[in-house]
Amino acid sequence: MIRPTYCRIDLDRLKTNYRRISRKKPVIAVVKAGAYGHGAVEVSRALESEGVKIFAVALIEEGIELRKAGIKGSILIGGSIYPFANFKEVLKYRLTPTIASLDSGRALSQMARSPYPSHIKVDTGMNRIGFGYRGAYDNIVKLSKMKNLKIEGIYTHFPCADTDRKLTLTQAENFRELIKKLKASGISPKVLHASNTAAQTFMRNTFTHFRPGLGLYGLKPFPSYSGVLPVMSFLSRIVYIRKIKRGERVSYGGDWKARRDSVIATLPAGYADGIRRELSKGGEVLIRGRRFPIAGRVCMDMTMIDVTDLPSVGIGDEAVFMGGQGKEEISASQIADLAGTINYEICCGISSRVPRVYTNL
């Protein structure tokens, strides 16, 4: 590492979060999008050492990366497979595909040489991909008769578990009724999953597996969620300090104007690294355990900080964009509120040019 800007990933915290939220229930760990920006390979290795046997990604490429890295467990591809020729890669790397249409089921059955384990996606209200639950029974029965397709799992997704408990419970009941009907017809997959981190707070004993994402990384689906610790910190160091006079301006557009003689510190990280440009107004960083405001617009590669009230500030001082320092902490959710987005996007948006440094390997 050359540039003093990096993300620190605490794998002990990851494992602690896993133990706290799983409560010994079988888990499908969601590690798509680079494990929400934390690093899919290292996160999956750590969770596999804890006993996780199924991992969920979005893309075939993500599944291949994990398999090449030595992950032995099942790797579920959560996205719809297209074009169907990509089933060749699914078979080659022993990935578990999501079947969301009869056409995709037929394509897999034709390519496989023996019954191949797959998970069927049922849409209970999100209207993204999957068999609509009203017609899912007939379609799943048809899939069950395809020669080389094995229904290992069936799942759905709760898009409003963090905001609408009543709707989520209705979705769960509709899914449960479908599973009951399928079981009566002799279709009993061993893996049934639906509950994400938010849903698990009020549906602890639903279905065979729990499918957490956010909670594993210590991120909150809603403000009152507790019991987990943030896994990622985003850090940098001061590389330049400049004294300016009252009335001088800082950064692009010149819309930040010094109200007094000021001291401005420059950090070598900007929006190309994932420092949201929306933080140009109201954003803060931690230096020596205190909060200091961003001065002017966040640049592509650099961000300026008003450190006038820190007399002993120096080159090399650590600055925390996200994480804790002393008694202060800036969370992904706090940043998301300022940026008008969600904590998922804050972590996923930290670019690949920011090294991930792993502690407690």
Q: What are the structural domains of the chain?
A: 11-217 (3.20.20.10), 232-359 (2.40.37.10)
Helices and strands in the chain, H and E counts: 11, 20
How high is the pLDDT of residue 361?
72
In single-letter form, the type of residue at position 319 comes to A
Q: Specify the pairing of strand 232-237 against strand 6-10.
A: antiparallel
Bridge partners for 30 per DSSP: 56
What was the pLDDT predicted at 23?
A: 83
Residue 131: beta bridge partners? 122
Mean pLDDT across 120-149: 97
Give the 3-state DSSP-derived string for 192-223, with helices as H, strands as E and coil as C. Answer: EECCCHHHHCCCCCCCCEECCCHHHHCCCCCC
Where do we find the tokens 């020596």? 288
3-class DSSP assignment, residue 178 = helix
Q: Is 51 helix (H, G, I), strand (E, B) or coil?
A: coil
Residue 11's nearest CA partner among 292, 277, 358 is: 358
Distance CA 238, CA 361 (A): 28
What would the mean pLDDT of 9-37 be, rounded to a whole number? 96
The residues pairing with 74 across neighbouring beta strands, listed in sequence order, are 54
Q: Are 345 and 354 in contact (CB under 8 A)?
A: no
Read off the pLDDT of each residue in 87-107 and give the average, rounded to a whole number. 98
Q: Quick one: pLDDT at residue 2? A: 87
Number of Cβ atoms within 10 Å of the Cβ of 30: 23
Give tens-digit pLDDT for 276-296.
Answer: 999 999 999 999 999 999 999
Residue 1 confidence (pLDDT):
66
Q: How confident is the model at residue 155 (pLDDT cuts 50, 70, 90)?
A: very high
Strand order in the sheet with 303-306: 240-244, 262-267, 303-306
pLDDT in tens, 230-281: 999 999 999 999 999 999 999 999 999 999 999 999 999 999 999 999 999 9
Confirm if 211 and 18 have CB atoms less than 8 A apart.
Answer: no
Tell me what pLDDT residue 40 has.
98
Which band of pLDDT confidence, cut at 50, 70 and 90, is reported for residue 205? confident
Cα–Cα distances in angstroms (integers) from residue 189 to residues 2, 152, 193, 254, in the given order: 50, 5, 11, 62
- Distance CA(187)–CA(189), nearest Å, equals 6
The percent of residues above 70 in pLDDT, for the chain, comes to 100
> What residues are labeled active site?
32, 252
Query: What does residue 142 show for φ and ψ, rounded to 5 degrees?
Result: -65, -40
Distances 106 to 101, 116, 134, 322, 341 between C-alpha atoms, Å: 9, 12, 21, 47, 39
**If residue 89 lies in a helix (H) or strand (E), which one and from where to where?**
helix 87-92
| Confidence bin at 113 (pLDDT 50/70/90) | very high
Contacts of 357 (CB under 8 A, 6+ apart): 1, 6, 7, 8, 9
pTM listed for this prediction: 0.96
Q: Is 71 helix (H, G, I), strand (E, B) or coil?
A: coil
SS3 assignment, position 243? strand
High-pLDDT (> 90) share of the chain, %? 96
As a whole number of angstroms, the distance between CA 285 and CA 238 comes to 11
User: Which residues 6+ apart lie within 8 Å of 254 measured at CB?
Assistant: 296
Q: Report the alpha-carbon distance of residue 343 to residue 297 in Å, rounded.
A: 21
